[in-house]
Structure 1
Amino acid sequence: MEDPERKEHVAPVEKKKVTLDRAISMNVERVPLTMLPRYKTLSPKLLGRQRNYKQDVCVQEDECHYVKRGESPPADDMVLIDSFEDAGTEAFSVKICRDSVRQGLFDLMRCTSNRNAVHFMEDIECGTVSVEDAEPFFNRCSRMERSILLLWVAFLKKLYFLELLVRMGIDINFTEPVERFSALHLSAFSGCVECSKFLISNGANVNYAPKWFTPLHSAAFGNSFEVVKLLLNNGAKLEITGRTKTNDNFVYGTALHSAVKANAVECIPLLLAECSDINSLEPRGFSPLHSAAELGNIHPLRILLDYGVDPNLVTYDKKNTALHLAAEGGFSECISLLLSKGAHADARNHKGQTALHLAARAQSLECVEMLLSTGACDPNAVDNDMRSPLHSAVGKSLLAFEITEVLLMCKADVNQKDKYGYTPLHVAALNEQSRCVETLLYHGADVSAKTEGGISALSIIVRKTPASLGMLYQKLDSAISLSDPEASNREVEMQLDFRLLLQNCDVGEIGLLKTFVDASQKNILEHPLCEAFLYLKWEKMRKYYIARIFMYGIFVVCLSVYVLIALAYNCYNTSKAVDGNITTQTESQTQLCQDDSMIAEFFRRNPLVTEIIWFVLVFLTLCECVRKLVGCAAYSSLKQYLLQLENVVEWFVVASVFMISCFYAGRTYTWQNHVGAFAVLFGWLNLMVMIGQLPVLGTYVAMYTSVQKEFAKLFAAYLCLLIGFTISFCVIFPSSDAFGNPFVGFMKVLVMMTGELDFEDMLLGKDDEKKAPFLLEISAHVVFTVFLLFVTVILMNLLVGIAVHDIQGLQKTAGLLKLVRQTELITYIESALFSGFLPECIIRILQWTALVSPSAYRVVIQVRPLNPREKRLPKSVLKAAYEIAKQRKWFGHTVSSQGSSSSSSFKVTKSRGSSFHVPQAQEQSNIQSLFWSTEENSKGIAKLREEVQELREAMKSNADLLRQLCDLLKAKSSDC
């Protein structure tokens, strides 16, 4: 049997402050292990606090231990999203513990260097010493030792020893130096009424609070009803609050607070009767109701509420109600009681958070369900940072998945963004919660949602939880379905539902597919649903791009005609000279336009034609400027716009039109010829790039650009070799026109690389030239032969081999490359068309002509995959989609919140030679999904077994009732 005197023990003897890396202090208290309810461990709160502290420890080490290779990439931290601020304070645990008091008194006695006194204290505790034996020992002790013994016997409730020490003249108000407890404090805590009476009668101060507590606090901590009553009858004041002597001036509350913290159920009604204002808050802003809710003490909480305490009291600093504190601690019983007493479930604290926010963050499933059902909390309530409870739920905890499902079942907004642009999907991916990510994706979370910094949810998922991509493939598979031909007596029909691709697109329709490309998940574009949508989308958008190419082609042709007539052939200046305006034209300047052809004569006699061509060119240039300005909306910043080389080239061509004008001075100049030459070259080059962006021709342009890159690398690697041969040829052939200048000689070497060697002219020389010395001829033959072998043969064949290898690689990925180019091109056109610069009426017209689904109700296309006359989609896409739909129908693969689909092991071979794969990481996800499904099925079977058992019992009771009725009827019939 446990000694009743030893059942009260809770609180620290000393505090140690441990400084963490986030400048947060934490009290470390010596609290014993016990099963008493007043010392209940606050596990949800402590778990919440633990999430606040970073796991990395800053260790000071010598920098020479590390290789300096630049800074590490920035961490994927969401701004303040995982910060956990305690709604309460750190002083809610009980501050007096029997073991800590006992150990403190022993330590204090050891400091006196009197070992016999320590042993004597143990003997008094064991009851082996009588008062007569103690008196001689007390006389031998010093005054400090007798004072400590006074505290000890008051703590042990030894009245006779206490009387003996008081008669010896010991100060009855002596306090130990650490916690500053007096004899009356310790006797009140131990619940000794006789000792407390004796001390009070001998002058002990009932309101003495040297540091933290008064004797009334101590009695409340010990749940000593009789002592509390005694102290109140002797003038103890309830409103006295203990304070520390430190700079923070922290307040520990009144005796009623202490009774609530210690779960002293017997003392609370007595103290409430003495309280003048039951709804008053102590100086730090907390009431006993807050303390009870924070600690989860249900019995004191019920007493306070039954006594009439307002359940909606808020604290001073953080504006938390008792419901907030109970939700943060994860105390479902307290929440149920508060709600039944009229607590407001939607009350908000200083951060705008409801109790549901804190319950979700504390990972308390019962509290979340209770607040949603009983309290009718709004699952979409947002705090001051625009975060919903769903943001708080997807934290680093094993219960995050269950809480997320509960919130989503209550219609929580899955795409709610906070003020930094983070959605719950961002947070779940950052916290590496794969199951939460899959659940959010199943309920329609937008993977293309971007933060204020431009980070999409998909990019985080790819890096943090790649296994969750399986749910994305399953969602795509589920959008393809087959109709039952036996039920309809018609041929097989297949439905492709594009709702998944369109549901989160604000302006255009290609946003989700562009996110796949930006997140390096281009393989998803090969899914039949994505391919079908891209095919239909391109049919809608290609007319706009072809019109753009046509207009730009006319612009380039007009530019070329003007440059040829006005600059290259100098017809404008010649015509002006014929009219008498220019009389200083030399023969070299006008001979190009002096032939007798009809066209030359026409331009000489009509300089106005050249001016008209320039005005037409200016009009086309202005149209091109408008198009370029509207196209700027497709880029997020000026830097991104300028990094696109084609934009710089186009603006140079536009600017060159005004630079080569003949209208300003009435003539043209020689420097304009150079500008015009480059303008024409860049104009046709840009037209080639625009044509190459067409999906049909995109592969060939990609091959050309790939060979360009490889040649640039090869040229940089062998540039020194080419320069060496150039200087050697300049030395060996000094009389040659080609190698008289090193710069011209380098161009000659580049020409010789192609095979044009001029063997006769270089080595044999011309007939009228003087023969070179014999040794110089030998050197010329040697260098020329080495050049022929090393450059013309080896180097050029190497370049051809690399080009062939790259082209073969591009042909293997030609299908995927075509889809990527198609996606990027459609994104650019959509951004330009729906940028907002155009009038609303024109935008509405463009929406009906450029969108696949201009109406929200038209998101499904129905095709007949087995019909050879089906032309609405390519055959390869129909075949791949049909295989997926058929396998889903045969094997019953459906998407669920736990997710399981055939996509992970299914491979569709397409006619064009490419294949659609699901990432290998999805196999692990499917294994986990299978385990979760098995677990859910087991729970369902167990529940069904319980229902069957209940049904059996009900049938048995009904059978007994029928038997009794039959017996009763038989008895009545026999009486009759």
Structure 2
Amino acid sequence: MAILLCTRRDTRTNIPSYIGNLIHSMKSLLRKKCTPLQHRINPDTRFQMLLRAVQARSVRGVGGQLAAGLPVNHRDPALGNKTPLICAAEYGFTEAVIKLLDAGANVSLADATGATPLHMAAGGGHVSTVTHLLDYGAHVNHLDAHKSTPLHYAARADLQESDCGKVVKVVEVLVAAGSRCNLKDGEGRLPLHNAAMAGTAALLRVLTTGKNKATINLQDNEGHTPLHCAVIGARSLLAVEELLKLGVNIDTRDTHGNTALHLASGRHINHVDEEFDGNCLELLLRHGASVAVHTEDGNNALSLALRRTMWWGRPGSRDHILHAVHQLVAKGSKIQDGFAMWRMVESFPSLVPAALNRSFIANTSSRDSPHLHLDLDFSPLLVSSKRLQMFHRQSPLLPQSELPPPLLQDSELAMLQYILWEGRKQLLLHPLCHSFLHLKWLKVRKYFLANVMFYLLFVLSLTGFLLFSENCPVGTPTTESSVNASTNGIQSDNSTSTCMWVGAQSNMVRLTWWCLVTFNVLLDIREVVQFLQNPLIYFFNLGNLLDATLVFCVPQLLVVSGSEGNVNCCLAAWQQQVGAVCVILGWVRFMLFMGQFPSCGVYIVMFSTVARNVLKFLAMYVFVLIAFALAFYVLLRGLPAFHSVLISLISSLVMMTGELNYEETFLSGSPDYSLGLTLVLLVVFIVLVYIILSNLLVGLAVSDMQAIRQRSEVLRLTRHVGMMAQIEALFRSPLVPGQLQHILLHSIAIIDKNKSPYITINPNHSNGLADSLFLLMVSTLGGRRVFVKLFEAVVSGFIPPEPQPAIPRKMVACIVDVALREHEMDKWEKRLQSRAMQGLPSSQPRSILHTTQIPPPPSPTLLTRCPSLPRIMAGGGRASWVRSFLLDTDWEDEASDMIHSNLHNCQSYNSYPSHLRPVIQQDPSARLEEMRIQIVNLQATMGTLLHTIQQQHTHPYMGHTSSTQSQPFSSVPEQTPLLLPTQQHLV
């Protein structure tokens, strides 16, 4: 062990040289007579007695031990080679320090760690002891084994808040004695770093002033500035504010890419100080901390704050994180990945639209510029199940939020499926989600159209076979024949019972029969694959149930029966009934397919919603129909319309539509003894059922239509997500070969995993004739290289254009509105911050100068997102016009989740009621501040103008000096200050 301790290993050398170095080290060890580690040594009894005397602050006891023979410079190895002077200085026993120094104690003798008495006295905040040690010649810049000076010890003193003044006094004494504030310790830290970590604001001012002042932005070995240390220490908010006033770089990144904002927002859950973190986050944002900076892991401050939402165990942590997320989103932080999107949708759904607006990036604020291009960042909608599981495993505590099943799928639609699973359908109306769905539809629609065409051919084959086939005569016995013989009319060796189709339509029957067999087999294969993929979800889909019914019923039609004599093939009575059911289900299923087209979806949604509500209504009031049906059956069971209970119920339902047949049924067919009661029941039935219930049904249908029109876009997008997820899940089936599965999934993918998740569009870019022809041919026929060569041969200097994403114009207009508003807001905040920074010394607070002309805000509709956030106000160099939000994040109303000012011009929001539309409000306090600044500037300008006019009036008398030439306008007693009406109102 001793050999290894004395040997220095060089990893860059090879094995022979390493062995040679080892032998050399062993020889040198023997020469130095290195011995193994000895057993623990007991401390000297006299030194222990002296230590007790120091602790008891007994000068007589210290002198007694010295008189007993204890050397004044004794170094006890059991206590780290401490001397009596070091112990006395550590406890701040000034009288004992003086006595030991007078007795000849060495003031510079250090212990095993290299700490001198001055180190210990400074670290304890003992002012008088430090003063006497300096008077006796203590070296003020002595370095210990860790390269720390006494000033480092004093700066990191962990004392009570009432004792901070002592530490400041010690630092002032050391600095006055020549201590250098810019010396680094072994970790590359200045005393300023230690003071920031300890949270002593007054000490920071002392260390950053004077001749040897510390560098405010110096980074240690880990890249931490004093601001990083102040945030990590979480001791005092005043220390953070003091560093910001001194001009520290607020966005400096450490070796891991963390800024002070990252440290405040993403502090470990076990070490969080909610009050400090909330106020510190607010303070950093108010002083211009960037929310767009990412760590080395690619996380921004919002993602780090959202990680805490996975653990709500601590009391009050929910409110703290809610406050932090509100501030970050209000300052323009964006959702950067699927993890942050998941936590936002689950915890803060009302903030999701505002955070998603930052996914639209414009390069200019000019709407009509031909160079305008927009970047659409689809990162929030792309989920990596491996990344989510990694975050889940790295949790410091047992997470209370399990990973949702939709997010565990490696699919581009996983996040949209989770949004529906969470019940936040209105988020699909956001332009980012809407455009993503549209682009996904353009990729998927070719397979959907193929599916629709396949089903159309299947329904046409079924319909043609039933139309061209003949029914067997009523009362004629039928015999079943083999499929091959019944179709082709050929005698079979295995069966003596054959039939054949006769007549002019026999060829059509054979053709439709074979087509029906082919499409039915393909339909069976498709349904088996879907069932094996997810049996539980299969039976909860109406379309799948219709397909399963057709798969069971259609083969019964293919086994054709023959009439008596085995000559003519026909459909038996039971096959006629099965065929009637199949043709209805087939065309209804095809209608549902058509409803998934964007232009037809709203009508199918209206039909299905009204049908569902009517069935619920009838299920509620069916007992009234049963009651009248039983009454009519008892009184009129002799009539055909009421001869059984079931027929009586159906007749009552028909009577509900107005088909009463009053004279024939109730007057002529009713017995005389019950005629009066029958008519009374009929009148009651007309009032209760025909008038009241029928009108209720009509009113319900009309009200549903209005509600559906308002929610039609949401319902259509919901159906689109389900349809595209079903197609993608079909491609991921284990029954699909691996190579084919990869090709199919790649053909419907919007974003390549190896490329950037950004899509760029140029709203104002128009192609010429050659470009349009080129793009048309490429999109229809493919073969880009061939067409490039062709156009280069025809058109000189032809540059092939890049195809743009096919996004509808209305959607592009909505995206442009959102992107330009965010761009204008960023420009406005940067402008205010830069104006606030101009010409201010580092010792003065960074506030907006009254003499600085502030440009007007871009638009009143762009300014605030909620007046209930007074924490983001003017001051600290930040914008006084800010964006804020509605604080309630637990709304259950779907429409309320999407109230957002940036979408009020979108078509999907114009249908909202007026009380649900976005309300754009201004921050009244900020607006008054802006008006006051503008009025002061205007008054100063008018004062200068009046002063010039007065000089012109006194110009003929050059010999006389006017009083107005030597005094400012505000000090002229004859002049009355000009007050505008608005200023008078403010005063």
* Structure 1 match to 2:123: 260
The one of 683, 696, 701 equivalent to 1:785 is 683
The one of 595, 598, 608 equivalent to 1:695 is 598
Mapped partners of 2:296, 2:579: distance in 1? 53
Tell me if the contact between 1:573 and 1:582 (Cα under 8 Å) persists in the aligned partners.
no
* Structure 1 match to 2:375: 499
Change (3 A) 1:736 1:658: closer
Cα shift at 1:412: 2.0
What amino acid is the match of 2:541? Answer: L
* Structure 1 match to 2:697: 799
1:117-136 paired onto structure 2 within 5 Å: none
Mapped partners of 2:198, 2:921: distance in 1? 35
* Structure 2 match to 1:87: none
The one of 860, 864, 874 equivalent to 2:762 is 860
Cα shift at 1:775: 3.1
Change (3 A) 1:365 1:649: farther
Cα shift at 1:718: 1.9
Query: What TM-score, normalized to structure 1?
Result: 0.51
Cα shift at 1:413: 1.5
Mapped partners of 2:535, 2:133: distance in 1? 69
Cα shift at 1:790: 1.6
* Structure 1 match to 2:156: 292
Residue by residue over 1:611-655, the C-alpha shift from the partner in whole angstroms, topping out at 9 and shown as x without a partner, is 6632332124435666x599x8xxxx987x558534642662575
Residue by residue over 1:925-965, the C-alpha shift from the partner in whole angstroms, topping out at 9 and shown as x without a partner, is 65577579789999999xxxxxxxxxxxxxxxxxxxxxxxx
Mapped partners of 2:154, 2:556: distance in 1? 82
1:457 and 2:344 equivalent? Answer: yes
Mapped partners of 1:479, 1:511: distance in 2? 30
* Structure 1 match to 2:232: 358
The one of 294, 301, 314 equivalent to 1:413 is 294
Residue by residue over 1:376-433, the C-alpha shift from the partner in whole angstroms, topping out at 9 and shown as x without a partner, is 61463599xx986653499852331443577964962289677999554676996466
Mapped partners of 1:800, 1:531: distance in 2? 34
Query: What TM-score, normalized to structure 2?
Result: 0.51
* Structure 1 match to 2:712: 817
The one of 211, 218, 223 equivalent to 2:92 is 223
* Structure 2 match to 1:344: 221
1:391 and 2:266 equivalent? Answer: yes
What amino acid is the match of 2:609? Answer: S
* Structure 2 match to 1:746: 649
Change (3 A) 1:935 1:715: farther
Tell me if the contact between 1:260 and 1:292 (Cα under 8 Å) persists in the aligned partners.
yes
Change (3 A) 1:625 1:854: farther
Secondary structure at the counterpart of residue 187 of structure 1: coil
Secondary structure at the counterpart of residue 691 of structure 2: helix
Cα shift at 1:730: 2.4
* Structure 1 match to 2:607: 704
Mapped partners of 2:747, 2:687: distance in 1? 65
Cα shift at 1:551: 2.9
Q: Which moved more, 1:874-883 or 1:696-705?
A: 874-883
Change (3 A) 1:416 1:437: farther
Cα shift at 1:900: 5.5
Q: Which moved more, 1:552-561 or 1:562-571?
A: 562-571
What amino acid is the match of 2:545? Answer: V
Tell me if the contact between 2:633 and 2:648 (Cα under 8 Å) persists in the aligned partners.
yes
Cα shift at 1:691: 1.8
Q: Which moved more, 1:612-621 or 1:258-267?
A: 258-267
Mapped partners of 1:556, 1:929: distance in 2? 67
Mapped partners of 1:807, 1:478: distance in 2? 39
Mapped partners of 2:247, 2:230: distance in 1? 10
Tell me if the contact between 1:549 and 1:690 (Cα under 8 Å) persists in the aligned partners.
yes
The one of 573, 579, 599 equivalent to 2:505 is 599
Mapped partners of 1:509, 1:828: distance in 2? 13
* Structure 2 match to 1:311: 186
Mapped partners of 2:645, 2:816: distance in 1? 66
Tell me if the contact between 2:439 and 2:750 (Cα under 8 Å) persists in the aligned partners.
no
Gapped regions of structure 1 (runs ≥ 5): 1-174, 176-180, 241-253, 282-286, 315-320, 484-491, 865-871, 942-976
Mapped partners of 1:523, 1:726: distance in 2? 48
What is the CA RMSD across the aligned residues, in angstroms? 7.2
Tell me if the contact between 1:387 and 1:416 (Cα under 8 Å) persists in the aligned partners.
no
What amino acid is the match of 1:445? Answer: K
Mapped partners of 1:714, 1:912: distance in 2? 30
1:235-274 paired onto structure 2 within 5 Å: 260-263=123-126, 265=130
Residue by residue over 1:763-799, the C-alpha shift from the partner in whole angstroms, topping out at 9 and shown as x without a partner, is 3456xxxx74x43332222222221222122211221
* Structure 1 match to 2:254: 377
Equivalent residues, number: 683
Secondary structure at the counterpart of residue 791 of structure 1: helix
Identity among equivalent pairs (%):
18
Residue by residue over 1:465-496, the C-alpha shift from the partner in whole angstroms, topping out at 9 and shown as x without a partner, is 69xx668769879789546xxxxxxxx66787
Tell me if the contact between 1:311 and 1:338 (Cα under 8 Å) persists in the aligned partners.
no
Tell me if the contact between 2:258 and 2:294 (Cα under 8 Å) persists in the aligned partners.
no
Tell me if the contact between 2:292 and 2:333 (Cα under 8 Å) persists in the aligned partners.
no
Change (3 A) 1:288 1:682: farther
Mapped partners of 2:932, 2:525: distance in 1? 68
Change (3 A) 1:904 1:367: same
Mapped partners of 1:327, 1:267: distance in 2? 28
* Structure 2 match to 1:102: none
Mapped partners of 2:751, 2:479: distance in 1? 46
Change (3 A) 1:280 1:229: farther
Cα shift at 1:905: 11
Mapped partners of 2:247, 2:857: distance in 1? 39
Residue by residue over 1:843-894, the C-alpha shift from the partner in whole angstroms, topping out at 9 and shown as x without a partner, is 565568999x999573222179xxxxxxx99887799899999999997349
Mapped partners of 2:658, 2:640: distance in 1? 19
Change (3 A) 1:650 1:937: farther
Tell me if the contact between 1:893 and 1:900 (Cα under 8 Å) persists in the aligned partners.
no
* Structure 2 match to 1:445: 334
What amino acid is the match of 1:377? Answer: D
Cα shift at 1:800: 1.1
